[in-house]
Amino acid sequence: MEEASCGAFLPSRWALPYRVIPVHLYPVLQPIVKFLLTLFWRPTVAGLQHVPSSGRMIMACNHTSAFETYFVPCMIPREIHWLGKDALFKGKGVPGKFFAWLMRSVNVIPVDRSGSGGASSALDAGIAVLEGEHALGVFPEGTRSHDGRMYRGKTGAVRLALATGAPILPVAELGAFEAQRSKNSIVPKLRSKLHTQIGPTIDMRAQLSTLRADNPSDAPATREELRTLTRSLMEAIRELSGQEYVDEYAADVKKRLKDANAS
């Protein structure tokens, strides 16, 4: 049977807002959410002087909890755009359609990460955001840490920085892992100590030039250079967070643990 659309369940005046009307809720919701966070958790932030007031920027943050996706943006005085897997926008019925509309209204951009072109699609979407002189948020580890440690970063943030010239703003959220009620909790425990630490921006093009000081070149960064620059970025974030570093991809470790538990 063909899946019924949300319009089949609601009068058109109720279906319209999340079907055809584009609404930009970020500037409305951000101060409301920040007020609630301050009221119940009193989070702190340091290093705001490092945040560029305008222009393209990549915010790269550690990732130990689900609620960092809204905690950190509330601490940064810039609108942050995020890349989200397109599955988040394909929910069924009224709840799914509403959630997709809500995600778009707060600057989450759907990206098809499946197949061999997934990484390319994400890069193209990120470049489009940055070329519009917006701020883009990324979690270089690619997935949440399951044990609070920091894992190897993927090269996407560095690739975006080199392609667009956008500075990378290293950010660390402290206390988020300990504040989780469960591994998928989107609301931290009350009275948890949460702190956002922001570091100086990083110019990846300048760092690449430094790497090539003995042999200057305008050629695209090699795989080895991308890995070196990404390690430098992760170290900058780790210095802010104080986390133990593990030189493996978090997704690989999670898969290995899952396979071990299944056997």
What pLDDT was estimated at residue 7?
Answer: 35
Q: Say if 4 falls within a structural domain.
A: no
**Distance of alpha carbon 168 from the chain centroid:** 13
**Does a structural domain hold residue 26?**
no
- Compute the average pLDDT of residues 175-195: 90
Domain assignment of residue 25, yes or no:
no
What domain range is 125 assigned to? 31-262
**Is residue 4 over pLDDT 60?**
no
What's residue 85's pLDDT? Answer: 78
Tell me what the pLDDT averaged over the chain comes to. 88
Question: Higher model confidence: residue 191 or residue 246?
Answer: 246
CATH code (residue 50): 3.40.1130.10
Does 38 fall in a domain? yes
Determine the average pLDDT of the residues in 57-81. 94
Contacts of 106 (CB under 8 A, 6+ apart): 25, 26, 29
Average pLDDT of the residues in 33-38? 94
Task: Look at residue 18 in the predicted model and tell me its pLDDT.
Answer: 40
The predicted-structure confidence for 196-246, as pLDDT tens digits, reads as follows 999 999 999 999 999 999 999 999 999 999 999 999 999 999 999 999 999
Sign of CA dihedral 66, 69, 70, 73: positive
DSSP conformation letters of 1-66? -PPPPGGGTS-HHHHGGGTT-----HHHHHHHHHHHHHHHT--EEE-GGGS-SSS-EEEEE---ST
For the chain, the domain total comes to: 1
Q: How far is CA 88 from CA 16, 92, 98, in A?
A: 20, 10, 11
Alpha helices in 66-192 (DSSP H): 68-75, 93-105, 118-131, 156-164, 176-179
> In the beta sheet, which residues pair with residue 61?
171
Q: Which long-range contacts (CB under 8 A, 24 or more apart) does 19-27 make?
A: 19/97, 19/101, 22/104, 22/105, 23/101, 23/105, 24/105, 25/102, 25/105, 25/106, 26/79, 26/105, 26/106, 26/107, 27/79
Do the domain assignments include residue 12? no
Quick check: is 89 in a domain? yes
Residue 38, both tokens: 């301050």
* Lowest-confidence pick of 58-72, 74-88, 122-136, 143-157: 74-88
Tokens of 32: 């409301």
Output the pLDDT for position 113: 65
Q: CA–CA separation, 62 vs 172, rounded Å? A: 6
Burial tier of 258 (Cβ tally within 10 Å: 0-12, 13-18, 19+) = exposed
Task: In whole angstroms, give the CA distance from residue 188 to residue 185.
Answer: 7
Q: Which two tokens stand for residue 197?
A: 């630490």
Mean pLDDT on 183-208: 93
Q: Is the pLDDT of residue 38 over 80?
A: yes
Task: Assess if residue 8 is contained within a domain.
Answer: no
Confidence check: pLDDT of 80 > 50: yes
